[in-house]
Amino acid sequence: MRIVEAADRQAIRELLSPQRVRDADTDRRVAEIVADVREHGDEALLRYARTFDSLDGDAEIPRKHMEAAAKAVPPRVRAAIRTAAKNIRAVAKRQVPRGWKARVSPGITVQQRIVPLDRVGCYVPGGRYPLPSSLLMAAVPAAVAGVREVIAVCPRPEPVVMAAALEAGVSRLFRLGGAHAIAALAYGTESVPRVDKIVGPGNRFVASAKALIASDCGIDFYAGPTEILIVASRGPADWIAADLIAQAEHDPDARAVLITPNRKLAASVDKAVEEQMPGAGPARESLERHGGIIITSSARQAIYLANMAAPEHLVLDDERMATQVSNAGSVFVGPWTAQVAGDYAIGSNHVLPTAGAARVRGGLSGADFVRQITVQRLTARGLRAIGPSVVALARAEGLEGHARSIEIRLKGI
């Protein structure tokens, strides 16, 4: 791995602030696909599915087929799915906001109602490996929030993904992927119902499609390649190396970086990475292109750089550092809190903001699947109390009709 000094500003920018440049060719192709599906519905959707997803037969997977496939999943894996789902439910339940009603002043009441979304779409990637964990992370919080219908799409759903779908409470599962699946969820077709919001990670075509349809359909966020940033002053070096490699194996564009004030630890982790590194593959390519170790002058400087990077996953070896973190998608504290555990079964969500987006929001949660509706009530006394302020502000903005709307009521009191 590349080892750099914190004083090398150019190297720091390359490691911590990679440019996520949108691919114009990808965006153009995605726009064509989305427009085609939006206009021609199932005819276009199934054409793309046969071409890109190798679809042979119906797109929707019947529930009895899902149940039969799930029975073929090894019992220990089914048990692991149940454990993960249980923990995700427990966390998501705490995340859903609660309604309230407040008496602002005499005659003035404001209420907040929490209403679940009617229908959501969960995108599950179908790349090199099946990802039942991604389905659980997207669908379980939706079900906990009370969403009436949860639609899942996956280009190649293996039996383990179908088992996860059943456990998560998915209403319908479609053998669809890519930009055409996003378009179908966003605008609806004859067979795929239109959803209120689309969540879940995907490749660059999926990310581009989500960005494109965001003005017409809710999305979680625009997600780029995954990231892990480890801030540590002590070992074990082989554990740190294993964590860097684990995250790097997701994607050749993944970012995996260690920040440490300990030069000896830096050298030990570098050696351990080389010893543990598999042969050619995404992990090696990722660490060679985007991996590195930054040596800082102090632990304080290390945290400063971590906050500047706003990483998707931030791993800390010291509990005292946790309170100093302001920008991170998800934080893992202490040597036993392996980030990989968060990918599967801690209960926290692994659908997280990347490429610096953690500066403005956290990961997917139960709160993403509800509407917060405010309800206002005024009595005559309440209107009399605030009416003059409303009239003054309306006229200050030049909105005479607004002012008269209040004055006509005040005259009736």
Catalytic residues: 312-313
119-123 and 149-153 as β-strands: parallel, antiparallel, unpaired? parallel
As a whole number of angstroms, the distance between CA 68 and CA 57 comes to 18
Q: Is residue 338 exposed (0-12), middle (13-18) or buried (19+ Cβ within 10 Å)?
A: middle
Query: How far is C-alpha 412 from the geometric centre of its chain's CA atoms?
Result: 52
Counting every residue, how long is the chain? 413
- Cα–Cα distance, 288 to 285 (Å, whole number): 5
> In terms of DSSP H, where are the helices of 188-281?
204-213, 237-248, 263-276
Q: Which residues face 332 on adjacent strands?
A: 315
Asked, as a colleague might, if the bond just before 62 is cis with ω within 30 of 0, I would say: no
Of the candidates 260, 250, 256, 259, the one whose C-alpha atom is nearest the C-alpha of residue 288 is 256
Residue with tokens 């389905």: 135
Paired tokens of 292? 């590195």
Cβ atoms within 10 Å of 42's Cβ, excluding its own = 15
Q: Give the residue from 373, 371, 370, 372 showing the smallest Cα distance to 93.
A: 370
- What are the backbone angles phi and psi of residue 68, rounded to the nearest 5°? -65, -40
